Amino acid sequence: MNTIAAALAAAREKLPGFEARLLLGHVLQQPPVWLLTHDDGVLDEAALRVFNDLIARRHAGEPVAYLLGRREFFGRDFVTAPGVLIPRSETELLVDIALKKLGVDETPRSLEPVSGKSSWGTAAEAGTARNAPQILDLGTGTGCIAITLALECPSAQVTALDASPDALAIAAENARRLNASVHFLRSDWYAAVQGEIFDVIISNPPYIAVADAHLTQGDLRFEPPAALASGADGLDAMRHIIATAPAYLSAHGQLWLEHGYDQAEAVRALLIAAGFVAIEQHRDLAGIVRVSGGVYATAT
């Protein structure tokens, strides 16, 4: 008999139990915990076929987020799809720091910097003259950063750019579902916002070296290479974003970036070379510096 318990037991020969429960819950449109109290339930043949197909695809390495069509970020579900970078929990640190600088302090996840001092004004203060902080998200992907900032800081005006039409379609869908006000534009980095000025520029750009072996392993094999890799050392996009940012920042405007586990010193040097001051660097929960940023005090 095709019971839930039997189906999960068979799946555990190929996958961790929690992944099997996520996939079967998705098929049955029930939360995974529901399966624990209904393990004697019987699956019909159609449901079993769909479940077995998902198990095979996951066993072959396809990301769970693509199989489910969603990924949680900052407590909200975001639609995901092949061709668009999957939101990651590590990126929540980037959002935490930006929210803190916007004056939204209630999140318990915000951390003090491991280098630099939080001595400069908030972006909310920088945006006072225009009544609302202006935020630019570069390489928005699913829109998880831009949408979260718009929802957590309703006074902000958020613009989000991406070169991928597939990503922009997913981002716009997420904004509709979550009732977030974000202005999405197709753009190669800053190209679509020439002449505009922002109080905060934020980005989780591609930062893996193109020859990095990790790109051929695990979930990364299935994600868009352009959203992951950037040049021989992974820093090509970072160089452009940092060097160009001053032209788009208000007085005391801020730039915040997620970067690779071994790129903190290189990113700090790029920020200094571009004229940024009050530079801060923040560690993730694993103790690795993954977010860096600063203020461009002489921007106009």
Is 277 found in the same domain as 144? yes
Distance (Å, whole) CA 97 – CA 152? 12
Q: Are residues 99 and 54 in the same domain?
A: no
206 found inside a domain = yes
Alpha-carbon gap, residue 60 to 69, rounded angstroms: 17
**Tokens of residue 205, six digits:** 């750009």
What are the C-alpha distances in Å from 136 to residues 5, 204, 299? 48, 12, 16
Residues belonging to the chain: 300
**What are the pLDDT digits (tens) for 76-111?**
999 999 999 999 999 999 999 999 999 986 544 445
Beta bridge partners of 202: 137, 256
Does 289 lie in the same domain as 142? yes
Residue 138 structure tokens: 């570069």
Residue with tokens 């940012």: 245
Task: Name the residue range of residue 132's domain.
Answer: 83-296
The three-class DSSP label of residue 177 is: helix
- The answer to whether position 65 is within a domain reads no
pLDDT at 110: 42
Domain match, 98 and 245 both:
yes
- Does some domain include residue 8? yes
Q: How many domains does the chain have?
A: 2
Q: 68 lies in a domain?
A: no
* Residue 279 and residue 181 share a domain: yes
Q: Is residue 69 part of a domain?
A: no
Residues 6+ positions from 288 with CB-CB distance below 8 Å: 261
User: For position 180, which CATH number holds?
Assistant: 3.40.50.150
Distances (CA, A) of 72 to 21, 23, 64, 134: 16, 15, 12, 26
Nearest alpha-carbon partner for 152 in 215, 96, 236, 235: 96
pLDDT at 129 (0 to 100): 42
pLDDT of residue 111: 52
Cα–Cα distance for residue pair 84/225, rounded to 1 Å: 10
The reply to whether 8 and 156 lie within a common domain is: no
What would the pLDDT profile of 209-220 be if each residue is shown by its tens digit?
A: 999 999 999 999
pLDDT at 131 over 50: yes
* pTM (2 d.p.): 0.90
